[in-house]
C-alpha cells in the first residue's frame, strides 16, 4: 500500500521526489516559490520567496490542469483545500499514459469522502480529512509514461482560494503495476428492485480497493439491512461475494447504535439527523488488507432495505451516491456519462 513501509524506511532508495503546487506548477527542481508579489499581494513587503502564490482561482465553466507529469513515477500524496461550494460542483479527473478517457472522474468532495457538499473529518489510512477541510489522499498512483490531473469548475461563478499540492516520485514502475481508478454514481432506488449499482462494466484484470456511500434516507426508521454484492469474472444472477447487511459491510453492527466512527479501513464518519432535514449518512470501507481480486470483470451493488412494522424487509426508495476505487490493467472501459451539475445537487 505505502510507498515506504516502516520495516524498510531506513533503506536508501534511488527515486527522486517532486511536488506540484501553485508555487511550483510544473514541479521543477529548484523552481518553487519564484513568483514576484505585486503591491496588492500580502507578501509585497517581504518580496519574492515568501508565500506569494499559495493558491489559484478556478474559472467558472473551465477545466484547469493541476498536474502534467512525465513518467515513469508514482503519485504518493495529494492535498487540497477549497470552499465547500466546490465539493459537488468541481470534478476531479485523472488520466494515465495518454489515455483519452479518465480513469478517475469524481466530484471533488466525494473523492475525499466528504459528500452532500458538506465538510467533516475522516481519519482513515488512504484518505484523511482534517480540520477545516484539509483533503489528503495517500493512495499510490503509478504511471509509466504520463500522469495528468485536472479539475473542472461547473459552478456558475469563479471559485477563489483553491489550494493544492501533489507530491510524486520519479522512479521505475514494475510491469505488473495496476493503474488507480475511481468512479462516481448516483441513483434513486425503486421498490420493485431496491438496488444501487456502485460500479459495473469493469473489464480486465485488477483488484477492488474501496467503497464510499453517501446515503440520503427518504423513509422513516432503519435503512441499512441491504447486502453488498460482488459479481466477479462473469457472475450472472448470483454473486461470488455476498455480505450480511450494509452496517456489517462497513464493519459495524446492530444499526451502529446511533454512533459514528472513523478507523483506518472502515468508517461511518457522518450522519445528519436534525429537525426539518432529511437524514444523511456517509460510510467507507477500504479493501486494502482484503482486496477483491478479479481477472476478467467486476460489478458491485448494494441493496436498500429497511423494516416494515410486521418485521418483514421493506424495499426503500432512497437517494444513494457512491464512489468505487480500484486498480486494474489498462485499457479500461469508458465510464458512464457523469450526471450534470444540477443532477449532483444534494437534497
Q: Does 156 share its domain with 277?
A: no
Domain around 146? 57-170
Pick the closest to residue 292 from 203, 212, 226, 231 (CA basis): 231
Question: Would residue 25 count as lying in a domain?
Answer: no
- The total domain count for the chain is 2
pLDDT of residue 1: 45
pLDDT of residue 3: 64
pLDDT(347) > 80: yes
Q: Does 151 share its domain with 186?
A: no
pLDDT(215) > 90: yes
Q: Does 137 share its domain with 235?
A: no
Residue written as grid cell 436534525: 274
Q: Report the chain's C-alpha Rg in angstroms.
A: 21
Q: Does 93 share its domain with 146?
A: yes
Question: Would residue 36 count as lying in a domain?
Answer: no
Q: Does 283 share its domain with 241?
A: yes
Question: Would residue 118 count as lying in a domain?
Answer: yes
Gap between the Cα atoms of 302 and 211, Å rounded:
11
pTM: 0.97
Q: CA dist 224 to 125, 261, 272, 307, Å?
A: 24, 16, 15, 9
Question: Would residue 155 count as lying in a domain?
Answer: yes
Question: Would residue 31 count as lying in a domain?
Answer: no
Pick the closest to residue 147 from 205, 99, 105, 91 (CA basis): 99
pLDDT(239) > 60: yes
pLDDT(154) > 70: yes
pLDDT(227) > 70: yes
pLDDT(4) > 80: no
Q: Does 113 share its domain with 188?
A: no
Q: Does 207 share its domain with 277?
A: yes
Gap between the Cα atoms of 56 and 337, Å rounded:
28
Q: Does 268 share its domain with 132?
A: no
Q: What is the CATH number of the domain that holds 303?
A: 2.60.120.1390
Last residue of a domain, one of 170, 195, 217: 170
Residue written as grid cell 515506504: 4
pLDDT of residue 5: 75
Q: Does 147 share its domain with 236?
A: no
Last residue of a domain, one of 170, 195, 218: 170
Q: What nine digits make up the cell of 93? A: 479527473
Q: What is the pLDDT of residues 30-70, one digit of tens each?
A: 999 999 999 999 999 999 999 999 999 999 999 999 999 99
Gap between the Cα atoms of 225 and 218, Å rounded:
15
Question: Would residue 141 count as lying in a domain?
Answer: yes
Gap between the Cα atoms of 138 and 119, Å rounded:
19
Question: Would residue 9 count as lying in a domain?
Answer: no
Q: What is the pLDDT of residues 29-40, one digit of tens each?
A: 999 999 999 999
Q: What is the mean pLDDT of the chain?
A: 96
Question: Would residue 40 count as lying in a domain?
Answer: no
Q: Does 208 share its domain with 150?
A: no
pLDDT(2) > 60: no
Q: Does 254 share its domain with 152?
A: no
Last residue of a domain, one of 137, 170, 203: 170
Q: Does 105 share its domain with 205?
A: no
Backbone angles phi, psi at 262, to 5 degrees: -150, 115
Amino acid at each position: 500500500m505505502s510507498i515506504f513501509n516502516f520495516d524498510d524506511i531506513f533503506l536508501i532508495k534511488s527515486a527522486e521526489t517532486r511536488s506540484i503546487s501553485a508555487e511550483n506548477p510544473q514541479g521543477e527542481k529548484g523552481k518553487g516559490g519564484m513568483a514576484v508579489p505585486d503591491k496588492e499581494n500580502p507578501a509585497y513587503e517581504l518580496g519574492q520567496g515568501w508565500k506569494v502564490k499559495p493558491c489559484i482561482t478556478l474559472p467558472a465553466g473551465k477545466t484547469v490542469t493541476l498536474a502534467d507529469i512525465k513518467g515513469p513515477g508514482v503519485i504518493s500524496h495529494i492535498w487540497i483545500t477549497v470552499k465547500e461550494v466546490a465539493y459537488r460542483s468541481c470534478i476531479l479527473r485523472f488520466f494515465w499514459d495518454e489515455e483519452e478517457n479518465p480513469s478517475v472522474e469524481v466530484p471533488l468532495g466525494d473523492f475525499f469522502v466528504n459528500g452532500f457538499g458538506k465538510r467533516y473529518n475522516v481519519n482513515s489510512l488512504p484518505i484523511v480529512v482534517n480540520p477545516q477541510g484539509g483533503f489528503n489522499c495517500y493512495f499510490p498512483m503509478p504511471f509509466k509514461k504520463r500522469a495528468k490531473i485536472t479539475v473542472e469548475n461547473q459552478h456558475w461563478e469563479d471559485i477563489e482560494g483553491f489550494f493544492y499540492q501533489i507530491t510524486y516520485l520519479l522512479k521505475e514502475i514494475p510491469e505488473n503495476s495496476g493503474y488507480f481508478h475511481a468512479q462516481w454514481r448516483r441513483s434513486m432506488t425503486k421498490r420493485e428492485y431496491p438496488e444501487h449499482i456502485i460500479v459495473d462494466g469493469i473489464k480486465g484484470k485488477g483488484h477492488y480497493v474501496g467503497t464510499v456511500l453517501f446515503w440520503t434516507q427518504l423513509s422513516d426508521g432503519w435503512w441499512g439491512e441491504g447486502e453488498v454484492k460482488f459479481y466477479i469474472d462473469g457472475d450472472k444472477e448470483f454473486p461470488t461475494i455476498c455480505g450480511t447487511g450494509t452496517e456489517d459491510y462497513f464493519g459495524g453492527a446492530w444499526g451502529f447504535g446511533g454512533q459514528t466512527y472513523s478507523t483506518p479501513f472502515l468508517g461511518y464518519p457522518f450522519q445528519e439527523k436534525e429537525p426539518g432535514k432529511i437524514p444523511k449518512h456517509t460510510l467507507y470501507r477500504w479493501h486494502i488488507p482484503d482486496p477483491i481480486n478479479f481477472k476478467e470483470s467486476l460489478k458491485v451493488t448494494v441493496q436498500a432495505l429497511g423494516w416494515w412494522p410486521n418485521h418483514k424487509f421493506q424495499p426503500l426508495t432512497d437517494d444513494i451516491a457512491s464512489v468505487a476505487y480500484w486498480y486494474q490493467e489498462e485499457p479500461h472501459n469508458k465510464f458512464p456519462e457523469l450526471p450534470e451539475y444540477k443532477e449532483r445537487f444534494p437534497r
